[in-house]
Amino acid sequence: MKKILLIIYILIFTSCTSLNKKVWTKINKKEIILNLEPGDIIIKEKTLSPLGIFGHSAIMKTERIVFDYPKLGQTSYEIDINYWLEKNRDIIVLRYKKMNEKFREKLLENMEKFSKMNYKIVFNKRDNTEFYCSHFIWYIYYQTAKDLGFVLDIDSDKGLIVFPYDFIDSNELKIIY
């Protein structure tokens, strides 16, 4: 029981990153998001709900299609960006600074390769047997770089667990919206 409480304590307090509100983009459900690219990372702001306190992240599969690991008991799914957005919930869009066609093609290949795993919170981000939202994104970026012969860690704090907000301060990513 003490171990579970310690894990919950760590998760809650490590996820409470304070961000300057200026970097968040307010999205109206009727608004169409333009200029998104495959591989872009989308992060929803935190909410006051059990899993919402960590925020939520997904990755763009195409300019319009979001690839998402949504919640416990489900595998991944694809959805149009306009349906993925939530009214009155801000987002941040991040893009890998060194994105090129070779990297993007391998990233999309890895996205497909690891797309049907079960959703589960794992405590080692190098585990590729089960995923949660930000873990999946981190892993496919990590594996893509590894496949191409270099090391990449887009987790800003380099811990064993990666949260959606850990991408925001990554030196490897830039804020698009």
Which runs of E-coded beta strand occur in the chain?
41-44, 56-60, 65-68, 77-80, 91-96, 118-119, 130-131, 173-175
Domains of the chain, start order:
2-175 (3.90.1720.10)
Q: How confident is the model at residue 73 (pLDDT cuts 50, 70, 90)?
A: low
- Asked whether the predicted pLDDT for residue 11 surpasses 50, the reply is no
154, 153, 177, 145: which is closest to 43 by C-alpha?
177
Q: How confident is the model at residue 13 (pLDDT cuts 50, 70, 90)?
A: very low
- Asked whether the predicted pLDDT for residue 43 surpasses 60, the reply is yes
pLDDT at 24: 65
Share of the chain above pLDDT 90, in %: 51
pLDDT at 6: 46
- Asked whether the predicted pLDDT for residue 172 surpasses 90, the reply is yes
Half-sphere exposure (CA, 13 Å, Cβ side) for 157?
A: 12
Residue pLDDT, tens place only, 57-67: 999 999 999 99
| Residue owning tokens 């919206």 | 177
Angle between helices 101-113 and 133-147 (to 10 degrees): 130
Q: If you write DSSP's letter for every residue of 32-54 in order, what string do you get?
A: PP-S--TT-EEEEPP-SSTTGGG
CA–CA gap between residue 99 and residue 102 (Å, rounded): 8
- Asked whether the predicted pLDDT for residue 14 surpasses 70, the reply is no
pLDDT at 23: 65
pTM of the model: 0.83
